[in-house]
């Protein structure tokens, strides 16, 4: 089976570390977990995986990041990889940005920081269910 990736994007390392712990604990080693500290890095990772036939299934992205904001990043991803499940994880996204991500990036879910592990994992699992049907 091809490698399946869950990609987390946040400019705060502490958030990425927390996400990694929760994902590994809840989802185990079934998936590969990748992390990027900016949307630009994440786009490079996605492109690289695409050339290696590695499938990014889910992206969990912060909204407020230097450079490209989360909604703009997810829209870019959606234009090239519409099947990727996209979640916005944010402490301060404005409603317009969330709406834009819903309309233009097929946003699966917006989760507000501080998040509850169950909400995050349930959202990822429900997103994965849509990919695997």
- Residue ranges and CATH numbers for the domains of the chain are 4-98+110-115 (3.40.50.2300)
Print the SS3 string covering the chain. Answer: CCCEEEEEECCCHHHHHHHHHHHHHHHCCCCEEEEECCHHHHHHHHHHHHHCCCEEEEEEEECCCCCCCHHHHHHHHHHHCCCCEEEEEECCCCHHHHHHHHHHHCCCEEEECCCCHHHHHHHHHHHHHHHCC
pLDDT of residue 94: 85
What does the pLDDT look like over 50-108, one tens digit per residue? 999 999 999 999 999 999 999 999 999 999 999 999 999 998 878 999 999 999 999 99
Q: Percentage of the chain surpassing pLDDT 70?
A: 98
pLDDT of residue 93: 75
> pTM for the whole thing?
0.96
pLDDT band at 133 (very low <50, low <70, confident <90, very high): low
């Amino acid at each position: 089976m091809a490698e399946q990736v869950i990609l987390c994007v946040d400019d705060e390392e502490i958030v990425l570390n927390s996400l990694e712990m929760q994902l590994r604990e809840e989802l185990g080693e079934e998936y590969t977990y990748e992390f990027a500290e900016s949307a630009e890095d994440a786009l490079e990772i996605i492109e690289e995986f695409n050339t290696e036939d590695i499938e990014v299934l889910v992206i969990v992205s912060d909204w407020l990041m230097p450079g490209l904001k989360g909604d703009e990043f997810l829209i870019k991803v959606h234009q090239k990889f519409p099947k990727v499940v996209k979640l916005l994880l944010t402490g301060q996204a404005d409603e317009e940005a969330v709406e834009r991500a819903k309309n233009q990036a097929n946003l699966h879910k917006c989760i507000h920081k501080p998040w509850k592990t169950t909400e995050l994992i349930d959202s990822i699992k429900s997103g994965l269910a849509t990919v695997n049907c």
